[in-house]
């Protein structure tokens, strides 16, 4: 009687194991090396980040230190290495906060629905709708800048974006019948969030994680560039772009190098996210055909 029920073939797991391709491998390599040299900066940097090594500012590549000097005659390479540490760690911390706040808040709103959703989402919309750099400037100028303030502020601002995505995903999953069955069983909200919503929202959320990380780097760098983020003499890529801006007139590497570093990190992350997305699409079309 079960004659005609053929089980769907166990599909091979495509995903983590398949090679990333050349460009993907390069992107991963770039990210890992920035992270490693950033963390190891005190060990491998030839000079301290605030140590003046020459009387001449904006020395070209190779003349003093490997990458020349910045506007105060400090070693650019050393500052770049220390900068990787600050910029990447701050961005990571901010992204982590954005995700905890955004996913929990958004999914809770999606699960609760009704008036709760209305109240939470409209409050979120207020902050979401505010131009993010303005909001950050207001907070930082009001309470003063510190690493903690920066991380929390950027984390919160990016979190409002994560919130929207998490809420939309949760709303979709909530209408699925397996969730309805859990609700009818009497499961509480926490269980549903952890067991039904999150595992099924993991893929799109992890894609957003990459994007959120790049946006955090850009927002932090922008704040530092405006003088409200990381304070000199600490090294941060955003700070470095700003302080060496005048060097652009002399064609100095000092202004371009940190910009290049920001560019290569965001590009790598973006590329990995794109790879992930195209793989998701391929999986979906394979599933439809099977």
Which parts of this chain interact with another protein (CB under 8 A)? Answer: 1-11, 114, 118, 176-181, 183-187, 195-196, 199-200, 202, 285-287, 289
Alpha carbons within 13 angstroms on the beta-carbon side of residue 102 total: 30
Least distance to another protein from the beta carbon of 164, Å? Answer: 19
Nearer to another protein by Cβ, of 63 and 286: the residue is: 286
Distance CA 223, CA 200 (A): 35
Q: Which residues pair with 52 in a beta bridge?
A: 74
Tell me which residue of 50, 97, 58, 109 sits closest to 236, measured CA to CA: 50
Q: Which residues pair with 87 in a beta bridge?
A: none
Is residue 149 within 8 Å of 90, Cβ to Cβ? no
Nearer to another protein by Cβ, of 8 and 43: the residue is: 8
Q: Assess whether the previous peptide bond of 177 is cis (omega < 30° from 0).
A: no
CA R_g for the chain: 23
Which DSSP letter does residue 3 get?
Answer: T
Is residue 262 within 8 Å of 217, Cβ to Cβ? yes
Least distance to another protein from the beta carbon of 48, Å? Answer: 49
Distance CA 118, CA 141 (A): 31
CB atoms within 10 A of CB 200: 17
Residue 201, Cα to own-chain centre: how many angstroms? 18
Distance CA 84, CA 59 (A): 21
Least distance to another protein from the beta carbon of 122, Å? Answer: 13
């Amino acid at each position: 009687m079960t004659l005609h029920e053929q089980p769907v073939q166990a599909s091979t797991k495509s995903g983590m194991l398949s090679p990333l391709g050349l460009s993907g491998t390069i992107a991963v390599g770039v990210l890992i090396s920035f992270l490693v040299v950033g963390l190891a900066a005190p060990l491998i940097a030839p000079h301290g980040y605030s140590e003046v090594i020459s009387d001449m500012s904006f020395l070209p590549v190779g003349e003093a230190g490997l990458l020349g000097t910045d506007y105060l005659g400090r070693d650019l390479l050393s500052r770049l290495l220390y900068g990787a540490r600050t910029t990447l760690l701050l961005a990571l911390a901010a992204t982590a906060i954005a995700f905890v706040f955004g996913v929990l808040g958004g999914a809770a709103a999606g699960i609760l629905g009704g008036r709760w959703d209305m109240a939470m989402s409209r409050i979120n919309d207020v902050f979401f709708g505010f131009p993010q750099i303005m909001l950050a400037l207001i907070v930082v100028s009001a309470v003063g800048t510190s690493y903690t303030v920066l991380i929390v502020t950027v984390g919160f601002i990016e979190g409002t974006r994560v919130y929207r995505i998490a809420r939309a995903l949760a709303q979709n999953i909530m209408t699925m019948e397996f969730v309805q069955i859990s609700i009818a069983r009497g499961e509480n909200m926490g269980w549903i969030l952890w067991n039904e919503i999150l595992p099924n929202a993991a893929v799109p959320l992890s894609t957003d994680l990459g994007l959120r990380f790049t946006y955090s780097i850009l927002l932090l760098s922008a704040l530092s560039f405006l003088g409200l983020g990381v304070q000199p003499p600490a090294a941060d890529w955003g700070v470095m772009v700003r302080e060496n801006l005048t060097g652009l007139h002399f064609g100095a590497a000092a202004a371009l190098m940190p910009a290049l570093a920001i560019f290569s990190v965001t590009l790598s992350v973006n590329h990995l996210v794109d790879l992930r997305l195209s793989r998701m699409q391929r999986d979906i079309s394979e599933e439809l055909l099977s």
